[in-house]
Structure 1
Amino acid sequence: MSGARRVSKKQPQPGFSPRRLYVVLALLGLCGLGLAARAVDLQVLDHSFLARQGDLRNLRIEPLAAHRGVITDRAGRPLAVSTPVRTLWANPREVLASPDAWNRLANNPVLNTRTLSQRVNAHPEREFIYLARHLPPEQAQQVLDQKVPGIYALTEYRRYYPAAEVVSHLVGFTNIDDVGQEGMELSMERRLRGEPGRKRVVRDLHNRVIQDIEVLDEARPGEDLALSIDLRLQYIAYRELLSAVQEYNAAGGSAVVLDAHTGEVLAMVNQPSFNPNNRAGVRLSALRNRAITDVFEPASTIKPITVAAALESGLVQADARVNTHPGTLRVANKTIRDHRDYGIIDITTILTKSSNVGVAKLALEMDQQLLPGYMSEFGFGEPTGIPFPGESSGLLPIRQRWRDIETATLSYGYGVSVTALQLARAYGVLANGGVRLPVSLERLDSAPEGVRVISEHNANQLVTMLETVISEVGTARRAKVAGYRVAGKTGTAHKLTAAGYAEDRYVAVFAGLAPADNPRVVTVVVVDDPQGAYYGGLVAAPVFGRIMEGVLRTLNVEPDQPAGQYASMVLSGEAR
């Protein structure tokens, strides 16, 4: 029937199964038992596993700082030492996570809130930045005591120079990372620097070291370095040179003191100087070790080498006489002049009176290559071989053919450029009986082997001749040292500029040795561009005398004559 109601059949519902519930509960129970068993195993049976895992999250490898080698003078007096300092660093992520703690540094003189904010906000993704380096421990502790999360400290070493500007040009200095930048600090970097080590430490949740576990690699300190200088002599030379540069308002100056028997540098000073402990505002020009890097024309201090070449070649004997009349000598288009007409004079008087005409005539009688050859043997035109950055080799021209005017001017110190150290080495040949010794900036245990340049006889003759320069009739009366016989030579050179030789600018030089009967010390003094007086005998010679007096007495060198006796001998003409 169409109107009949359709009856739908009811779908059967799935019945409740207790077995499925039991299976789920059983699985949960087994998991719980497994976790409990594992917990028992870790906490009781295998406790070391958790300890190891905890250590892995707290153990760290930390660097062990190695201090740089100590630089001392020849007697062990410290010239450069490394002192432990504290460096503050931060993990910007940790610091930025606790901005409320920054106010603890609001008025801190070492690191304030503003500086901290600027530093960490500039490097938010980094895990290490420096905040302040090389702080005294007490200053660093002022910051650490505020317990700002993310700020830590580490130990570094900072270089300190006890003698400051007195040895600054020779010793040099290091940068903030303790790497040598100038002087012996730079040239001996490999020997002086230490090798950092490693250690394993435990840090807490605040990243603080709470326990040192073990040293993995021992830090190896750098090698100590004993220089040849004597700090007592260094102070003497520094004081006297500074006094002269200030007195004559000079542009600068240098002084070198050599041991005549070993070639060791006993003192080396320069002006202007600088304090390596505080180099703020120091000009680059003040950093130069002028005694090694700066060259000048030695003028008349070269004349003993010209005379040595004449004697050694057999051209003349010590008693030979040279006619210097009328006090001038025309060579090519140049007139060579003496201070006055000395007439016919012997070789000694050529040096005593510093006769340009006399030495020029000697040089012009030689073979063209003879004089340059002897100058080379005395060490001009080549570096001294010391391990020092920026050493100049000077300038000694090499020519196939020398014009007469070139030979003549070379004979009295023009056309050749030297350093103060080279000039001291050359006079060391005379002081050491004609043997040239290598120069050393490090203390030596014994004298090195040298190279013979001229005969011992001729060297001794030249020293005797140079004693007359210090006499009342010589050009360097102010270089005398009471109680000692002194030999030396003055020099006054026009400064060479871009426009040629300056008419009113000079370099005043004195080079000498003492005691003359058995030379122990060689000293060279150079004063650059003195104002007012400018002659070597007036400006540089007195500095030499004061330095030499202090050096000889400090070294306890026995006087070779009673005080006053030498002066009377010179006046009577007996000092030869």
Structure 2
Amino acid sequence: MNNLNSNSSPLKVARWRFYAVAVVMVLLSLTLVWHLANLQVLPNDKGYVFLQDQGQSRTLRTESITAYRGVITDRNGSPLAVSTPVISLWANPQVLLQAPNRWAELAQALNLSKADLESRLGRFGTKEFMYLLRHVPPQTAEGILALDIPGVYGQTEYRRYYPAGDVTAHLVGMTDIDDRGQEGMELAYDAWLSGENGAKQVLKDLRGRTVKEVQLIKSARSGQNLTLSIDLRLQYLAYRELKLAVEDTGAIAGSLVILDVDTGEVLAMANWPSYNPNDRSHSRGAGLRNRAITDNYEPGSTVKPIAVMAALETGRFKSDDLINTSPGYIRVGTKTLRDPINYGVMDLSKVIAKSSQVGMTKLALELEPDIIRNMYARLGLGQAIGTGFPGETAGMLPSFKRWRPIQRATLSFGYGMNVSVLQMAQAYGVIASGGYKRPVSLLRVDQVQEAEQVVSTDLTNEITDMLKRVASTEGTGSRARAVSYSVAGKTGTVRKVGPQGYDENRYMASFAGMAPAEDPRIVAVVVIDEPKREKYAGGLAAAPVFSKVTEGALRMLQVPPRKNEETVKPENMVSKPAKGKPVS
């Protein structure tokens, strides 16, 4: 019996230990299950909010490295578009919603009403990201971040800045808030300028602050720089004079292009009205158009020299051939074409100088229908130039199986066709360069491309001599004369098309020319859209702009002025106008 009792005692102890351990294990399991349930289910500072905060306080995240967008400069390196660092403030709504006592403070810092902030939090409440304020100056953003509001973070980005503002807006263009090209060269060369974003892994704390940069996943590749053909000095000059002319004549708009004769580079391209690309809120609609490239207009009498060149090339006409324009008008079918006065008998050179519609009509009707049209096409009119600029117009040259006499006549003085200001500059560049057609470039040309000769040099020299006469005291373009340089060019005035046909009260005034006339360095084309009634002619509205711009531009380009004894006094630059209605 004693042995039995002694043997049963250890069994009881072992059994008691087993039950004790089992109870402890069950209690531990129940405690663990309760704690897990508490953490994952209960919405309090000891529940899943605690887990979320702790997880975020030790989060390993992949962060984008914003690529630096390439700089746009003028031909001499002056910046036209640069990217400056800014901070975009964003929030995790799920975290910010847990700190309602800080909303009023945050709203005030963001210059918002508390109601607006609450409304946005309501819309994004299920998200983990929403922007609070984009492109904030670093100093301002750092002040807001220093408030240490839960769920509010900052992200470094870049904002595009345009030092020349509205002066270069239509050519340079602008980007959107995400730094993607939207207009102008920013859009045309967006891929070139953009670069490629990089990525890195970072460890962030509860406040979104980077605790440690863990590793670089991919380096950001900066965008490439872009050098435009324009000279910022000439651009400011062109913009200023164009703006003054539009305001002085009461016009609705204007465009001006200066072209380098030897290289085909655009040295200046201005439009008015313009816009400020640094303020996107007011940059919209028709004001964004680069009219010099995208808009069509009927060139009027600025194409008369080209039509005469086509006639001379046939060999059937000479510059001293006489045309009788009496009695100052001519009937073509059912239409009557008139000069302001009866000029009588004139040679071809004077027909250009006086811009005689009657003289041009008689000349055009002596030629085969396609001769003038084909000459226009050879000089690039009515064809896309191929600059790559968004929205570039091709213009329009008519082509008929059977030309009516009135169509042949009006085409010779620039009606019934459409061109851009840049196309007209290229065409006059052919005349100025001795018959060579060069590609027009909006980018700086470091190696000049070989030009194609489309007209003989002798022929363009004849036309240049005629154009000098236009800018003399006997021509319609006397106000285009420069003080220190000889010029050659042609005025243009056309009625604009309205709902009922050509409107007698709305005009396009223009002047196209080159300087110095004896060895042209630049070509300039000025177009004024709807100048007021008393200054609607090209010789009154556009020619004075050409005079001021060529004078200033040639000095900036260090082109030697003519000898002192040949300089023109300002008071002798304007001829006495002929009586009657002005013509182009």
Q: Does the pair score TM above 0.5?
A: yes
CA contact (8 A) 2:277 2:283 kept: no
Report the counterpart of residue 478 of structure 1 in structure 2: 479
Distance 1:18 1:205 in 2: 53
- Structure 1 residues 561 and 460, CA gap change in structure 2 (3 angstroms): farther
Q: 1:58: how far off?
A: 2.7
- Is residue 2:291 matched to residue 1:290? yes
CA contact (8 A) 1:110 1:143 kept: no
After superposition, give the CA deviation of every residue in 1:43-67 in whole Å (9 maximum; x if it has no partner): xxxxxxxxxx999953211110111
Give the AA of the match of 1:333.
T
CA contact (8 A) 2:481 2:573 kept: no
Q: 1:318: how far off?
A: 2.4
Report the counterpart of residue 356 of structure 2 in structure 1: 355
Give the AA of the match of 1:547.
V
Q: 1:566: how far off?
A: 5.6
Give the AA of the match of 2:449.
P
- Is residue 2:340 matched to residue 1:339? yes
Q: 1:229: how far off?
A: 0.5
- Is residue 2:92 matched to residue 1:97? no
After superposition, give the CA deviation of every residue in 1:150-191 in whole Å (9 maximum; x if it has no partner): 000000111110000000011111111111111111111111
Q: 1:223: how far off?
A: 1.1
- Is residue 2:541 matched to residue 1:539? yes
After superposition, give the CA deviation of every residue in 1:73-98 in whole Å (9 maximum; x if it has no partner): 01010111111100000001101112
After the TM superposition, which residues 161-176 of structure 1 pair with which residues of structure 2 at under 5 Å, given as runs? 161-176=162-177
Partner of 1:408, secondary structure, is helix
Partner of 2:447, secondary structure, is coil
Report the counterpart of residue 12 of structure 2 in structure 1: 17
Q: 1:571: how far off?
A: 11
After superposition, give the CA deviation of every residue in 1:307-329 in whole Å (9 maximum; x if it has no partner): 11011121212222222222222
Report the counterpart of residue 147 of structure 1 in structure 2: 148
CA contact (8 A) 2:327 2:344 kept: yes
Q: 1:243: how far off?
A: 0.3
Partner of 2:526, secondary structure, is strand
Distance 2:142 2:572 in 1: 70
- Structure 1 residues 202 and 347, CA gap change in structure 2 (3 angstroms): same
Give the AA of the match of 1:278.
D
Partner of 1:519, secondary structure, is coil
Q: 1:30: how far off?
A: 11
Q: 1:558: how far off?
A: 1.2
CA contact (8 A) 2:479 2:547 kept: yes
| Stretches of structure 2 lacking an aligned partner (at least 5 in a row) | 1-9, 27-53, 576-584
- Is residue 2:196 matched to residue 1:183? no
Partner of 2:155, secondary structure, is strand
| Stretches of structure 1 lacking an aligned partner (at least 5 in a row) | 1-14, 32-52
Q: 1:142: how far off?
A: 2.1
Report the counterpart of residue 433 of structure 1 in structure 2: 434
Distance 1:367 1:218 in 2: 65
After superposition, give the CA deviation of every residue in 1:312-348 in whole Å (9 maximum; x if it has no partner): 1212122222222222222111122222222222121
Q: 1:391: how far off?
A: 1.2
Report the counterpart of residue 70 of structure 1 in structure 2: 71
Q: 1:563: how far off?
A: 5.5
CA contact (8 A) 2:70 2:82 kept: yes
Partner of 2:415, secondary structure, is coil
Report the counterpart of residue 11 of structure 1 in structure 2: none
Report the counterpart of residue 556 of structure 1 in structure 2: 558
Distance 2:207 2:287 in 1: 47
Q: 1:564: how far off?
A: 4.1
Distance 1:25 1:54 in 2: 37
Partner of 1:461, secondary structure, is helix
After superposition, give the CA deviation of every residue in 1:218-260 in whole Å (9 maximum; x if it has no partner): 1111111000001100000000010011111111010010001
CA contact (8 A) 1:483 1:563 kept: no
Report the counterpart of residue 214 of structure 1 in structure 2: 215
Distance 2:109 2:300 in 1: 61
- Structure 1 residues 171 and 56, CA gap change in structure 2 (3 angstroms): same
Partner of 1:82, secondary structure, is strand
- Is residue 2:416 matched to residue 1:421? no
Distance 2:412 2:566 in 1: 35
After superposition, give the CA deviation of every residue in 1:518-567 in whole Å (9 maximum; x if it has no partner): 10000000000011311110110001101111111111111234364467
Q: 1:213: how far off?
A: 2.4
Q: Bigger shift: 275-284 or 287-296?
A: 275-284
Partner of 2:396, secondary structure, is coil
CA contact (8 A) 1:512 1:522 kept: yes
Give the AA of the match of 1:126.
K
Report the counterpart of residue 310 of structure 2 in structure 1: 309
Give the AA of the match of 2:511.
F
Q: Bigger shift: 384-393 or 521-530?
A: 384-393
Give the AA of the match of 2:243.
L
Distance 1:547 1:286 in 2: 23
When normalised by structure 1's length, the TM-score is 0.89
Q: 1:493: how far off?
A: 0.5
Distance 1:181 1:287 in 2: 10
Q: 1:282: how far off?
A: 4.4
Distance 1:405 1:105 in 2: 73
Distance 1:153 1:258 in 2: 47
Give the AA of the match of 1:536.
G
Give the AA of the match of 1:552.
L
Report the counterpart of residue 12 of structure 1 in structure 2: none
Report the counterpart of residue 453 of structure 2 in structure 1: 452
Partner of 2:109, secondary structure, is coil
CA contact (8 A) 1:482 1:564 kept: no
Distance 1:26 1:569 in 2: 119
Q: 1:113: how far off?
A: 4.1
After the TM superposition, which residues 129-148 of structure 1 pair with which residues of structure 2 at under 5 Å, given as runs? 129-148=130-149
CA contact (8 A) 2:242 2:254 kept: yes
Report the counterpart of residue 392 of structure 2 in structure 1: 391
After the TM superposition, which residues 401-412 of structure 1 pair with which residues of structure 2 at under 5 Å, given as runs? 401-412=402-413
Give the AA of the match of 1:168.
A
Give the AA of the match of 2:70.
G
Give the AA of the match of 1:284.
G
Partner of 1:369, secondary structure, is helix
- Structure 1 residues 204 and 279, CA gap change in structure 2 (3 angstroms): closer
CA contact (8 A) 1:428 1:436 kept: yes
Q: Bigger shift: 300-309 or 15-24?
A: 15-24
Distance 1:569 1:290 in 2: 34
Give the AA of the match of 1:557.
V
Q: Is the radius of gyration larger for structure 1 or structure 2?
A: 1
Give the AA of the match of 1:535.
A
Partner of 1:238, secondary structure, is helix
- Structure 1 residues 462 and 566, CA gap change in structure 2 (3 angstroms): farther
- Is residue 2:374 matched to residue 1:373? yes
